[in-house]
Amino acid sequence: MLLYALKRLIYVLPVAFGVSVVCFMLVHLAPGDPLTAIMPIDATAEQQAQMRAAYGFDKPLPVQYGIWLFKVLHGDLGASIASGRSVASEVGRAVGNSLILAALATLIGFGFGTFFGFVAGYFRGSLLDRLASLVSILGVSVPHYWLGMVMVIVFSALLGWLPSTGAGPGGSTAWAFDWEHIRYIILPAFTMSAIPMGIIARTVRALVSDILSQDFVQALRAKGMGEGAVFRHVVRNAAPTALAVMGLQLGYLLGGSILIETVFAWPGTGFLLNTAIFQRDLPLLQGTILVLALFFVGLNLIVDVLQSSLDPRIQRG
């Protein structure tokens, strides 16, 4: 088990290295260099050169990468070009808010998704199955930023039950576990849960109908086991894969939350990315994406190791 975890970890290191290269190159994709966008138009060539030297953009790319990587490994993601603040602390502040939203959305999606998946898998071919399948198709097809707008239209504009934007009363950006704050998370969390719900429902439906058609289920029934006990066997066999899909969905949601965070003005990493893009603040863009991608890589690793410890048959070579 430990050996397998170590093997996966060694496999992940080159991927993490690749991720860092991609994130580094992001800044150099744009025409010119990261300073072109913010340089005053009337800056003389000498001033421009000075500024480039100050940010280290005058050195060859591999050297710049080396310096950047060294700093990143020491927890220094550079300074935001627009605000001058440390990127690491900006991301650190935002990532908590995103994590709460993504985790809650994953839980809601997992709850509804497994329910619909089980119903569809148990009553395969019935009207219930078709209804559940329809829900999962709608879940994976819906443009979630539009769903967010519709939720705001219905629950804020028309019914007036819930606030439409923000993370707390009075524009507060710090999260707290009280009703005043929970009110603000309900709409974005349910909107976000549509995607994992559809995917988890699909997965669980396939899993359940596959398990039910296996010989051991027939053997359990043949020896007179009640449906409730058979159900427990089905759950135990479906759990490792379903939980792994849930773990991956959390990563996808955290990385893909920018659209929903924009609709609901949720003060997380998506909102930070949005700011970075529109102020052409490339160090902030780079740092946020690096943190989110590395988080995703780490989550994949954890899911993989947990899954294989729950079910040793699925070890990847």
Partner 1 sequence: MTAVDLSAVPIPPAERSEGYWASVLRRLRRDPVAMAALAVILLLVLAAILAPYLAPADPFRGSMARRLRPVGTPGFPLGSDELGRDMLTRLMFGGRLSLFMGVTPVVLAFAIGSGIGIFAAYVGGWVNTVVMRIIDVFFAFPSVLLAIALSGALGAGILNSIVSLTVVFVPQIARIAEAVTTQTRNRDFVEAARISGASPLTIVRVHILGNVLGPIFVYATSLISVSMILSSGLSFLGLGVKPPEPEWGLMLNTLRTAIYNQPLVAALPGVMIFITSIAFNLFSDGLRGAMEVRQ
- The residues of the shown chain that bind partner 1, judged by CB under 8 A, are 14-16, 18-19, 21-23, 26-27, 29-31, 137-138, 140-147, 149-150, 152-153, 157-158, 251-252, 254-256, 258-259, 262-263, 273-274, 276-278, 280, 282, 285, 289, 292-293, 296-297, 300
Least CB distance to partner 1 at residue 254 (A): 8
Smaller CB separation from partner 1, 204 or 276: 276
Smaller CB separation from partner 1, 30 or 67: 30
Smaller CB separation from partner 1, 14 or 228: 14
Confirm if 255 and 272 have CB atoms less than 8 A apart. no
Smaller CB separation from partner 1, 237 or 295: 295
Q: Tokens 């994130």 sit at which residue? A: 23
Least CB distance to partner 1 at residue 146 (A): 3
Beta-carbon contacts of 105 under 8 Å, excluding residues fewer than 6 positions away, are 188, 189, 190, 191, 192, 193, 196, 253
Q: How far apart are CA 43 and CA 201, in angstroms?
A: 57
Please give the C-alpha separations between residue 79 and each of 46, 58, 147, in angstroms, as whole numbers: 23, 17, 35
Least CB distance to partner 1 at residue 216 (A): 26
Least CB distance to partner 1 at residue 117 (A): 16
Least CB distance to partner 1 at residue 251 (A): 6
Smaller CB separation from partner 1, 204 or 263: 263
Smaller CB separation from partner 1, 168 or 251: 251
Smaller CB separation from partner 1, 237 or 275: 275
